[in-house]
Amino acid sequence: MFVLLSCSTNVHAQLRDSLAYLLKQRPKPFFQLDGYNSFVRSRGANAIGFKTGLDFGKRVKFSMGYMKLFTDVVDSVQIRPNKYYRGEVRSNYFTTGIEYVLYRNGPWQVNVPMHFGFGTSYYEYPDGKKANNKALQGNIILFEPAITGHYKLIRWVGIGFGVGYRVMLKNNKQLKDNLSSPIYILRLKIFVDEIYRTVFPSKKSK
């Protein structure tokens, strides 16, 4: 038991010292498209969006972003007395969080991202010419811890992968679902920063 506590203390100290060193580095801005797959009521639920922020030493990223969750869940929603519509569960939320590079070797990289989200969930339904009316809208707060990674096929393109969980800290009680769900990622990943460096090389790289 003493050995385990000692090892845990040493790891914590090393991580603290590593973060302190990295945060002294000059940060670089980054931008990335983001997305993941999940389930709601055993049906598909896919989120897409973007993140932007500061990268310290290519090891720690602080980010903010925006995500939109699309689900395959459809319910009959009463909008007015005796008036029902086919409503699809949707969610929009802003994110903020931190991502730490746990492992990097050649084309392989493994990250540990943790993000909080603040936004709304609702039913989206068609009404005449408009197809994006919202009903039963309410506030949500969520937390998304995960472990992700990628393998670079070439400098600009790689294969992304990962698993995690979407934990709803505050739900919209007007909906039947609270949107908590496992998250999985498997996608083609485009490295926007690498493309930018190729198109606009810095003076040091010339």
Residue for token digits 């010339």?
206
Which token pair is 82?
Answer: 């005796």
**pLDDT tops 50 at residue 8:** no
Higher pLDDT, residue 24 or 162:
162
* Structure confidence at residue 3 (pLDDT): 36
Q: What are phi and psi of 16, to 5 degrees?
A: -65, -45
Q: What is the pLDDT of residues 86-132, one digit of tens each?
A: 889 999 999 999 999 989 998 999 999 999 999 999 999 887 666 67
* Domains of the chain with bracketed CATH: 27-205 (2.40.160.20)
**pLDDT tops 60 at residue 11:** no
**pLDDT tops 70 at residue 204:** no
**pLDDT tops 60 at residue 59:** yes
Alpha-carbon torsion, ordered 189, 50, 186, 116, to 10 deg: 140
Higher pLDDT, residue 203 or 146:
146
**pLDDT tops 90 at residue 138:** yes
